[in-house]
Chains A and B, each alone.
Chain A
Amino acid sequence: MGKWFGEFGGQYVAEVLKPALLELENAVSTIIPSKSFQDTYAAMLLEYVGRPTPLYFAENLTRQLGGAKIYIKLEGLANTGAHKINNALGQVLLARTMGKRRVIAETGAGQHGVAVAAAAAKLGLSCEVYMGEIDVQRQQPNVFLMRQFGASVKPVADGTRTLKDAVNAALKEWVRDPDTTAYVLGSALGPYPYPDMVRGFQRVIGDETRRQVLDQTGRLPSELFACCGGGSNAIGIFTAFLDDPVRLTAVEAGGTGNAPGEHASRMNGLSKTGIVEGYKSYFLQDDDGQIQPTHSISAGLDYAGIGPELAELGRTGRVVFTSARDGEVLAAFQQTARSEGILFALESAHAAAAAFKKVPHMDKNDSIVIHMSGRGDKDLFITAGALYTEEWAKFLRQEADRLERQAER
């Protein structure tokens, strides 16, 4: 634990970033462990986030699949709809305690941006969210939400105009004004101390799950399933179980195929070790070391790198990696909705897809936990467009016409 996870992690940044990171390192080791910080944070998790989130026995799915008992950690019931709020709230509280006046963040799908914007609104800091221009175009609902929380959304026109370019833009903005600004990173990656700090704020998911599953079943589950992009939800639920005889399965975005640009699976032999965005880990890259484009139906898993701790846990085999294709993910999304009345985020539906393949082959006395890291309301424009293409297009055209007519009046 700390700066290195095996050979992965580190703090590979330009000297200009060092002062800000050293200040943050110091704050992480002095402020976060303090009683006043821990008490304030715990109270906000209870009252504002809505913790503990339920561990739910999915009776219907269990019956249908006819194998292990299926439990779902309903993290998507947290305020703002995903696990992202645990980390956003922790880092924004830290920023306020450090005396910063402003927080900046990167966001891809917009979930982390929404969480940071909400936390900043609650804690009274100004907030700017950097978002690739392409993501701004395809994630308008989250752009709208961030603005409602008072954040200013800054479209990034560099590079591929997606998440990694938003990270670069946010880092550069931080370098420009590190004295008044804190950079709130959204996943368990980037330069030290981020991977360590983000895991610290997310491990509450696994701590709760472990207690809940022991309460409800009297024993540990045989397997956990979590989706894995950068990996903050996966490391969040896995950490409490690392020393237990529990199989830990992380599910990556299988996309549409194995060719470069068709997926975001870093842990199945398609990636190589690299040093990018301040840390050493596995990255999808070409022979020259240029980062490759990625694809996933879920914007939150569409990332070329993976958090350094998960890279090491994958290398040692403690965490097993698999992937789910876009089509399997949509099917799992529909199955959980119809069988349990629960709407998974497309990211989390990757975990469900992998679990549903495995469960029928497991013993009925076994139990498994699927991590629903987020709920699926936010994906309406993607899921409706994929499942009811013509109807949805017609609806959108009608809405656009209606708005235009309204504007003319």
Chain B
Amino acid sequence: MIEELQKPDYKPIPIMGHLVAGYPDREGFTAACRAMADGGIEILELQLPFSDPTADGPLNTEAGETALRNGFKMRDLPSYLDTVKAGGFDEIHIMTYANILYRQGMKAFVDNLDDVGVTGIIIPDLPLEDEEGFYAYTADKRIDAVPVVIVNMRSDRADLLKSLPVSRCYAALRQGVTGTRTIVEDKQLQFLDSLENLRVYAGFGITSREQIEALRGHAHAAVVGSYFTSIIREAARPGVNDDDSDSRTDAIYQKVKVGARKLSEPESGR
């Protein structure tokens, strides 16, 4: 493993980092976003908060609640996208729940994001049955619908995925919700390998370089979610730098950058 890492043509697997819009607040979000970019994260998954997030673990649930309590509105989205782009991210995916998309109108939601150059949309509670015509509608757009699948899904479910007009998918490495640790084993890797012709983003419980290395050659990117939420939560904790927003923002930046480097740089974190 070590020898392999030291090969001159070593190319690390890209990481998709996850941030909740409006968390821990507007300035903290900007700092975390910049820190991720500076820490070697290449792709950004921007989650739009929803009041009833059925697929989030406790950390991201709390992050979404905090963002909503702080007044996050959908009309703020363009400004968050500007922040993400200013951080240097070219590949951006929007993750949210079906009701947010449905309220705006599925087509309007897709078209608006397509217009501003978002790469993909991840809606975990829109099933592969395509009940809102979401996968079909995005088929001939630049923007991609990114269905969420799980390792070792039943073969009829896997066939359903293959029948969809999609070119990417988000593969959850195990059952359960976000925010707890996953061990990457052969059965997961075999499943990822079976997702031919799809650009695969693999995640759920990724918190170490070791897990990310294990995905190399099996996924196109590793998704890292609540790991960052946890770091931001710790840095923004009430009682820490409460009365000094500059040093609070700075703490978020430093801690997220260190956390990002631990995952993106092979030599550190060992």
Residues of A within 8 A of B (CB): 10-16, 18-19, 22, 158-159, 164, 168, 171-172, 175-176, 178, 272-278, 280, 283, 285, 287-291
A16 and B175 contact, Cβ closer than 8 Å, known pairs A290-B50, A290-B51: yes
Query: Which one of A175, A178, A285 lies within 8 Å of B103 (CB-CB)?
Result: A285
* Chain B residues closer than 8 Å to A11, beta-carbon distance: 127, 129, 131
How near does chain B come to A373, taking the closest CB pair, in angstroms?
A: 26
A16 and B176 contact, Cβ closer than 8 Å, known pairs A274-B99, A291-B51: yes
In the complex, the answer to whether B98 meets A12 with C-beta atoms within 8 Å is: yes
How near does chain B come to A194, taking the closest CB pair, in angstroms?
A: 14
How near does chain A come to B104, taking the closest CB pair, in angstroms?
A: 7
A175 and B175 contact, Cβ closer than 8 Å, known pairs A16-B150, A289-B104, A291-B51: yes
Query: Which one of A15, A172, A280 lies within 8 Å of B148 (CB-CB)?
Result: A15
In the complex, the answer to whether B127 meets A168 with C-beta atoms within 8 Å is: no
* Chain A residues closer than 8 Å to B73, beta-carbon distance: 288
In the complex, the answer to whether A159 meets B103 with C-beta atoms within 8 Å is: no
In the complex, the answer to whether A289 meets B50 with C-beta atoms within 8 Å is: yes
From A10, A18, A171, A176, residue with most partner B Cβ within 10 Å = A18
* Chain B residues closer than 8 Å to A275, beta-carbon distance: 97-99, 102, 125, 132
Mark contacts of B54-69 with chain A using CB atoms, 8 A cut-off: 1 yes-contact digit, 0 otherwise: 1101100110010010
In the complex, the answer to whether B61 meets A159 with C-beta atoms within 8 Å is: yes
26 contacts between A and B (CB under 8 A): A10-B131, A12-B131, A13-B127, A14-B55, A14-B125, A14-B127, A15-B147, A15-B148, A158-B65, A159-B52, A175-B175, A175-B177, A176-B175, A272-B103, A275-B99, A277-B54, A278-B125, A287-B74, A288-B74, A288-B100, A289-B50, A289-B99, A289-B100, A289-B103, A290-B51, A290-B68
* Chain A residues closer than 8 Å to B54, beta-carbon distance: 13-14, 168, 171-172, 277-278
A276 and B175 contact, Cβ closer than 8 Å, known pairs A15-B157, A289-B50, A290-B51: no
Closest 9 CB pairs of A and B: A289-B103, A275-B98, A14-B124, A291-B51, A290-B51, A289-B99, A14-B55, A288-B74, A274-B99
* Chain A residues closer than 8 Å to B127, beta-carbon distance: 11-15, 18
In the complex, the answer to whether A158 meets B176 with C-beta atoms within 8 Å is: no
Complex Cα spacing A159 to B69, Å? 10
How near does chain B come to A375, taking the closest CB pair, in angstroms?
A: 31
Given A14-B124, A272-B103, 10 extra CB contacts under 8 A: A15-B127, A16-B175, A158-B58, A158-B61, A274-B99, A274-B102, A283-B99, A285-B99, A287-B103, A289-B102
In the complex, the answer to whether B58 meets A276 with C-beta atoms within 8 Å is: no
* Chain B residues closer than 8 Å to A15, beta-carbon distance: 124, 127-128, 147-150, 153, 157, 172
- Asked whether any CB of chain A lies closer than 8 Å to the CB of B184, the reply is no
- Asked whether any CB of chain A lies closer than 8 Å to the CB of B154, the reply is yes
How near does chain B come to A105, taking the closest CB pair, in angstroms?
A: 16
Complex Cα spacing A276 to B96, Å? 12
In the complex, the answer to whether A16 meets B99 with C-beta atoms within 8 Å is: no
How near does chain A come to B151, taking the closest CB pair, in angstroms?
A: 10
A12 and B52 contact, Cβ closer than 8 Å, known pairs A176-B176, A288-B100, A289-B100: no
In the complex, the answer to whether A12 meets B175 with C-beta atoms within 8 Å is: no
* Chain A residues closer than 8 Å to B132, beta-carbon distance: 275
Complex Cα spacing A48 to B98, Å? 42
Query: Which one of B51, B61, B176 lies within 8 Å of A175 (CB-CB)?
Result: B176
Complex Cα spacing A14 to B53, Å? 11
How near does chain A come to B130, taking the closest CB pair, in angstroms?
A: 11
In the complex, the answer to whether B52 meets A277 with C-beta atoms within 8 Å is: yes
* Chain A residues closer than 8 Å to B128, beta-carbon distance: 15
In the complex, the answer to whether B52 meets A164 with C-beta atoms within 8 Å is: yes
Q: Which residue of A lies closest to B177 (CB)?
A: A172
How near does chain A come to B75, taking the closest CB pair, in angstroms?
A: 8
* Chain B residues closer than 8 Å to A168, beta-carbon distance: 52-54, 61
Mark contacts of B72-84 with chain A using CB atoms, 8 A cut-off: 1 yes-contact digit, 0 otherwise: 0110000000000
In the complex, the answer to whether B68 meets A16 with C-beta atoms within 8 Å is: no
- Asked whether any CB of chain A lies closer than 8 Å to the CB of B231, the reply is no
* Chain B residues closer than 8 Å to A10, beta-carbon distance: 131
- Asked whether any CB of chain A lies closer than 8 Å to the CB of B126, the reply is yes
Mark contacts of B202-238 with chain A using CB atoms, 8 A cut-off: 1 yes-contact digit, 0 otherwise: 0000000000000000000000000000000000000
* Chain A residues closer than 8 Å to B102, beta-carbon distance: 273-275, 280, 289
How near does chain A come to B161, taking the closest CB pair, in angstroms?
A: 9
